Each structure stands twice: as C-alpha cells, then as structure tokens.
Amino acid sequence: MEEKYQPPFNITGDMLSLVADIMEILGELKGVSNLEKMPRLRKVNRLKSIHSSLAIENNTLSLSQVTDVIDGKRVLAPYEDILAVKNASSAYKIMNKVDPYSIKDLLKVHFVMMNGLVSEAGQLRTNQVGVFNEKGEVVHLAPSHTFVPTLLDNLFDWVKESETHMLIKSCVFHYEFEFIHPFRDGNGRMGRLWQTILLSSWKELFQFVPIENIIMKNQEEYYRAITLSTSEGKSNIFILFMLKSIKSALEEIMAQTETEKKNLPKEVENLLKVMEDYPESSETLMQKLGLKSREGFRRNYLNPALKLGVIKRTSEKITSKNQKYIKV
C-alpha cells in the first residue's frame, strides 16, 4: 500500500502557545462583535487584503486608489496594475463559493485572478520558475513542472484528510504551495488567498481578516521565513511567522470593532476611509477628501478623530511643520 504524503514539519510548544492565543482572541471577538452588522469594517478589511497582497507583488496602487478602482472610479495608473486589482476583487468575492480542497476550483480562481495578466491563467505551469524576494533575488527554485500535478494532488489530499489544527494546517499548506509554485505567475497572491479560504471554511470571520496586510508590513521576514524553512527542509519557521501574523491581524480586528462601536461621526468615518496605514500630512488628507478649508477640516474631521482616539499625531509638538497623522 502506497504511503500517504506528509509535509515535513513538527508541532512545537511555541506553535501551540500561538494557537491558544489566537483561539482566545477568536472567543473574545465572538463575544464583543458581529461583523455582519459592520459592513464598513468588512469592506475596509477586504480592501486591505487586496491592496496588501498585490503590493507584495509590486503593484503600485495605494489603498485609496485600490478603493477607487473597485468603486468604479477612474484612476491614473498602469493598466496591468488596475486589472490586477479588478481581478483580485473578483477572486476574493467568490472565496466562499469554492471548495478549499478542490484543485479544479484552485484553477478556476487562478483564472479569475490572472485573466488578462498571463496567457496561462487557470493552467498549471509548463516551465521552470523560482520564488523571488522584494530585492529580485531568487530565494527558492521550484520543482520541475513535470512533478507539479502529483505534488498538488498530494498536498490537497493531505490538507483535506489531516487532523492537524486548521490554524497550523493552513500555514503548512501556504508554505508547501509556495514551494511547489504550481503556476507561472500569481503563486504568491494565490497562496495567501487560499490560506484565507481554508481558514474561512473553518471560521467565516477569516473572510474579513486582512492577514495579507500584516505580511506586507513584514515582507522581508515573510520571504526569510520561506527561505529558512526551505533550508531546514521543514516549514516550522514559516508556520511560526504566519501564526504570529494571524494573531496580529486578529488583534487589529479587535481594535477596529471597539472603534466601530463608538458610532463615529460621518466625517470621521470618511477620514478613516481615505487614510493609509502609514503617516500622512493634513494637506494630503484634505486633498483626498476634496476639502479646501483647513479650518473646516480641523473642526469637522481632524480634531473629532483625535478626540475619539481613532487617529494620533506622529509628533508630540502639535504645531510641527512635519506633523503627520496615522490610524490607531
């Protein structure tokens, strides 16, 4: 009898500790929030997922531009970057309609994600490819394309049948998927999306948890975790990185739900919608909001947001000419 494939990894105390922390946060979220009643929060987090996953692949659009593209507004940007956003939005919209254990569905979603961007959209690769970090350096040379169908079959069979906790199992899948690199292009965004699909098949909340945003903020560590796991011949380091990322993303959700429950004024909500995840000047924020009156901006948007504690200054000197603001 043929022995079933077992991805190389072992469960450690650190992993179990992180799983316990994540389960505790999930329990708290269940008790204090209902994302079904927070459509703005769900939309914002979905936008963050799309923007972050594409930014990792060097897409040039900002979060506000991604929002405009998805809202059907005109954006001046490279055609391929705009198409990538539209495709990713379509792919994320159908995540709850696919079978997370189906390679056929994987190919369908890849077609949606990469249609018009690569000629082999929805098809397994027929050539040699590698994984590159943000500096363009090869961090992993993928297996020969001749092995890809068998490797994918083995991985999908394992993830479907394994009794390993889904939090760990989805991380293993993510790493193994990147190791196999089944497509000519789009492997990174598909690996991140498919981990979310696996997690959301377990807990629906994960449809709106932007884990990709945490990965983007720690992109160098993400690639290093892949490289070191490959060097060690097991995915332990990558599993730990992803569990920490999941925990951080859920902690941000906790903070968001607390903010959402404050029944923010419409002006403050609009300000938060246009703000990126990095410090921005009042001039930039006014421009995004289409405002010309600095006094009106401060009175109706900036000061209320500061008072409610949903944004903060980057400089303790209030009148600093380099003063910027960032979401809390």
pLDDT tens string 43-102: 889 999 999 999 999 999 999 899 999 999 999 999 999 999 999 999 999 999 999 999
Residue 307 predicted with pLDDT over 70: yes
Range in 57-61, 117-121, 126-130, 236-240 the model is least confident about: 126-130
Per-residue confidence (pLDDT) for residue 35, from 0 to 100: 61
Residue 42 predicted with pLDDT over 50: yes
Measured distance CA(144)–CA(223) in Å, rounded: 21
Per-residue confidence (pLDDT) for residue 319, from 0 to 100: 81
Mean pLDDT of the chain: 92
Q: What is the DSSP string of 208-252?
A: G--HHHHHHHTHHHHHHHHHHHHHHTSSHHHHHHHHHHHHHHHHH
Q: Give Cβ neighbours of residue 21 (< 8 Å, ≥ 6 apart).
A: 247
Per-residue confidence (pLDDT) for residue 129, from 0 to 100: 86
> Is-contact 174 189, C-beta < 8 A?
no
Task: Report the amino acid identity of residue 318.
Answer: I
Per-residue confidence (pLDDT) for residue 155, from 0 to 100: 98
Per-residue confidence (pLDDT) for residue 78, from 0 to 100: 97
Per-residue confidence (pLDDT) for residue 1, from 0 to 100: 45
Measured distance CA(136)–CA(300) in Å, rounded: 45
